């Protein structure tokens, strides 16, 4: 089988959790594979990350260049095309960087691309068998992928449980000299940090979170009344922010805030994986949804099949009478 | 500015419950409500706003069957100037690369400064925009939630983790995939739909596009869907049953126990 590589994301000198998850995904492709990690960046942060990743990966390739100081996917794509063998199997986390990098990379390497893989069932000859989800997680699919000419595989964060105990004692090789031409038509300018809203939802012990099931802007009031009765704060899923019914600072999810309240009430939220990504480790999740098949019920502790527009006012009233 | 927007007709997941058919070969498609992929609708709105500001035209293109024409007409009723339907039996079963190959051929029949796609569609792969850019050898940015036109360059914002925004300068021609929330797509009324009902929409097949039928479709697909299934639930939620009063009483007990009530 072709060599397996993993592209490691990092920030502020610390490797992303996906570094541990990608090596577990690689083991499901080839249990005995010596997986090579690729770390790009610049300066001492890069060295720090490369050394840390060598604890998990037997071999780490380090690429140091000013152009790589920020992970601009166009620049990283050029680098990987310059340095990867054509039949490489490359694992990348399916996050906003991986989504930016990978589809085009697979074309440039002329290899297969499987997006957002939730599980890998193994390899039969040159056919990789994987599991993905479609329609916002409402159904799953088995897919096959011909990896004979290499593959780029994006792995959904949180789906492969890391084995924290392992120690690879790997080596770091500085391959910066092989980077080649990294000029592109896209220049990174800056990261604009999220605006701080009127309420910091990450500080609340209890969140009454609303999704599409709230149906109308004026119905937000129903959730607000419940939150007031409970001493909670109102948060929401992405469609509510897209519709501009609540401000972005109230959004829970990978593209919004990560929260860890004592109780998370998901009201009319179906539960896309991006949303679940924002409540990782939330201790107690209550899901109220009229669609009993909504994915949120798979992660909730307590589920109620109900129309939130009818249920929430009754709950508010009952709490008011306590 | 000449703008091409790639759109797709998909089952509307906000309106439908998606279920797997008996054999697992497909989802149940009877009685499904279809609509324009939500992300694509934002892309078309953005294209219309750019055109209205700087001039030019907006063309919408889709790969599909005759029924896909309805999404082109809907986006034209919204304000797109032209529609193109890429349709041929040979296109059936194409994977992301196959679709990008067809779109590339369509792009090369015109002269576009900017090509927009939705960030993702029903299969959640989010792949066609990036593949298309790589095939055209032009710059790409995904998950775009802000666009400013500065001459022959664009300043684009990308949505990244934690509610932050990554700003980039990108040279045109380029491909951008558009994230929801970038704008507020306008309402399309019956009058708008009627206005474009009789506009002719060109249909292009493999021959018209100069695409080798063997390079697209099921035979060329490296990635294939084997079946659909509903995952076995883990432990799942404890579903509260009974009358609404009983459910509320049980829920309040849970909330008290977990610190959910003050």
Q: ipTM of the assembly?
A: 0.95
Residues of chain A neighbouring B232 (CB-CB closer than 8 A) = none
Among residues B227, B224, B230, the alpha carbon closest in space to that of B19 is found at B230
> Is A161's Cβ below 8 Å from some Cβ in B?
no
Written as six digits, the tokens of B56 are 């030019």
Answer yes or no: do B139 and A185 touch at CB < 8 A: yes
Residue B2, both tokens: 């000449």
Asked, as a colleague might, if the bond just before B173 is cis with ω within 30 of 0, I would say: yes
A301 assigned binding-site residue: no
Give long-range contacts, CB 8 A cutoff, 24+ apart: A28-33.
Answer: A28/A119, A28/A120, A28/A121, A28/A122, A28/A160, A29/A1, A29/A4, A29/A89, A29/A120, A29/A122, A29/A123, A29/A128, A30/A1, A30/A4, A30/A123, A33/A1, A33/A3, A33/A4
C-alpha distance from B85 to closest chain A C-alpha (Å): 24
A270 appears as a binding residue in the annotation: yes
Q: Which H, E and C letters describe B2-16, residue by residue?
A: EEEEECCEEECCCCC
Its domain, for residue B113, covers: 2-204
Question: Are B233 and A298 a contacting pair at CB < 8 A?
Answer: yes
Task: Specify the CATH number for the domain of residue B105.
Answer: 3.40.50.620
> Would B147 be classed as within a structural domain?
yes
- Inside any domain, residue B145: yes
Q: Convert B124-153 to b/e letters by CB count within 10 Å (16 or more is b).
A: bbbbbbbbbbbbbebbbbbbbbbbeeeeeb
CB A153 within 8 A of CB A91: yes
Chain B CB contacts of A114 under 8 Å are 223
Lowest model confidence (mean pLDDT) among A165-169, A289-293, B75-79, B186-190 = A165-169
Determine, for residues B180 and A231 on separate chains, whether the beta-carbon distance falls below 8 Å: no
CATH topology agreement for domains A4-178 and A201-321? yes
What is the CATH topology of the domain spanning A201-321?
Rossmann fold (3.40.50)
The residue of A217, A255, A259, A289 whose CB has the most chain B CBs within 10 angstroms, and thus the best one to mutate to test that interface, is A255
CB contact under 8 A, B159 and A256: no
Domain boundaries, chain A: 4-178, 201-321
How far apart are the C-alpha atoms of B200 and B191, rounded to whole Å?
18
Contact with chain B for residue A300, Cβ under 8 A: yes
Burial grade of A94 (CB within 10 A; 0-12, 13-18, 19 or more): buried
Chain A neighbours among B 79-98 (CB < 8 Å)? 96-97
For residue B10, is it within any domain? yes
- For residue B2, what are the contacts with CB-CB under 8 A and spacing of at least 6? B56, B57, B59, B110, B111, B112, B113, B114
Q: Show pLDDT as tens, one digit a residue, over chain A (322 residues).
A: 789 999 999 999 999 999 999 999 999 999 998 999 999 999 999 999 999 999 999 999 999 999 999 999 999 999 999 999 989 999 999 999 999 999 999 999 999 999 999 999 999 999 999 999 999 888 999 999 999 999 999 999 999 998 877 788 899 999 999 999 999 999 999 999 988 888 999 999 999 999 999 999 999 999 999 999 999 999 999 999 999 999 999 999 999 999 999 999 999 999 998 999 999 877 899 999 998 888 899 889 999 999 999 999 999 999 999 8
- Measured CA to CA, the distance from residue B197 to residue B191 in angstroms comes to 10
Instruction: Tell whether B224 is covered by a domain.
Output: no
Number of domains comprising chain B = 1
Contact list, B130 vs chain A (CB under 8 Å):
99-104, 107
User: Is B218 within the bounds of a domain?
Assistant: no
Is residue A307 part of an annotated ligand binding site? yes
Pick the CATH number of A4-178 from 3.40.50.620, 3.10.129.10, 1.10.287.1080, 3.40.640.10: 3.40.50.620
CA-based nearest residue to A116, from A147, A145, A149: A145
Picking from B160, B181, B259, the nearest residue to A96 by CB comes out as B160
Examine residue B85 and state whether it is found in any structural domain, yes or no. yes
Tokens of B198: 């009789």
């Amino acid at each position: 089988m072709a060599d397996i590589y993993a592209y490691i994301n990092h920030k502020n000198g610390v490797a992303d959790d996906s570094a541990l998850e990608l090596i577990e995904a690689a083991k499901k492709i080839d249990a005995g594979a010596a997986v090579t990690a690729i770390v790009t960046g610049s300066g001492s942060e890069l060295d720090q990350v490369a050394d840390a990743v060598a604890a998990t990966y037997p071999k780490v390739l380090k690429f140091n260049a000013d152009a790589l100081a920020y992970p601009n996917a166009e620049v990283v794509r050029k680098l990987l095309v310059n340095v990867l063998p054509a039949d490489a199997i490359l694992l990348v986390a399916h996050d906003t960087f991986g989504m930016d990098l990978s589809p085009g990379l697979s074309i440039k390497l002329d290899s297969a691309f499987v997006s957002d893989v939730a599980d890998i069932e193994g390899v039969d000859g040159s056919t990789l068998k994987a599991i993905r989800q479609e329609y916002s997680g409402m159904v799953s699919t088995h897919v096959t992928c011909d990896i004979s000419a290499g593959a780029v595989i994006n792995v959904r964060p949180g789906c492969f449980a890391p084995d924290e105990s392992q120690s690879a004692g790997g080596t770091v090789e500085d391959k910066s000299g092989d980077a080649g031409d990294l000029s592109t038509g896209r220049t990174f300018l800056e990261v604009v940090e999220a605006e701080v809203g009127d309420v910091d939802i990450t500080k609340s012990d209890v969140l009454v979170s609303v999704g599409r099931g709230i149906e109308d802007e004026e119905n937000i009031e129903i959730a607000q009344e419940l939150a007031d009765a409970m001493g909670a704060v109102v948060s929401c899923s992405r469609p509510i922010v897209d519709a501009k019914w609540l401000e972005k600072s109230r959004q829970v999810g990978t593209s919004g805030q990560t929260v860890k309240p004592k109780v998370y009430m998901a009201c009319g939220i179906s539960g896309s994986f991006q949303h679940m990504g924002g409540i990782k480790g939330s201790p107690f999740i209550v899901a109220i949804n009229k669609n009993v098949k909504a994915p949120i019920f798979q992660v909730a502790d307590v589920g109620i099949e109900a129309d939130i527009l009818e249920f929430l006012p009754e709950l508010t009233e009952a709490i008011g009478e306590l | 500015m000449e703008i091409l927007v790639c759109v797709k007709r998909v089952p509307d997941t906000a309106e439908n419950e998606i279920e797997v058919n008996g054999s697992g070969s497909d989802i149940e498609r009877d009685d499904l409500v279809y609509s324009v992929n939500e992300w694509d609708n934002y892309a078309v709105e953005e294209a219309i706003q750019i055109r209205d500001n700087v001039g030019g035209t907006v063309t919408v293109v889709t790969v599909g069957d005759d029924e896909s024409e309805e999404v082109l007409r809907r986006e034209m009723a919204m304000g797109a100037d032209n529609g193109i339907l890429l349709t041929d039996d040979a296109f059936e079963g194409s994977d992301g690369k196959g679709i990008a190959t067809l779109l590339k051929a369509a792009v090369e029949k015109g002269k576009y400064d900017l090509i927009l796609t939705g960030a993702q569609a029903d299969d959640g792969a989010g792949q066609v925009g990036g593949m298309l850019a790589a095939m055209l050898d032009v710059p790409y940015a995904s998950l775009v939630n802000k666009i400013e036109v500065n001459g022959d360059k664009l300043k684009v914002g990308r949505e990244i983790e934690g509610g932050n925004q990554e700003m980039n300068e990108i040279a045109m021609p380029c491909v951008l995939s558009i994230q929801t929330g970038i704008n507020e797509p306008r309402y399309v009324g019956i009058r708008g739909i009627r206005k474009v009902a009789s506009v002719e929409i060109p249909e292009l097949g493999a021959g018209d596009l100069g695409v080798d039928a063997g390079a697209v479709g099921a035979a060329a697909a490296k990635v294939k869907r084997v079946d659909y299934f509903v995952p076995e639930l883990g432990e799942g939620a404890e579903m509260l049953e009974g009358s609404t009063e009983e459910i509320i009483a049980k829920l309040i007990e849970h909330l008290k126990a977990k610190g959910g009530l003050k």
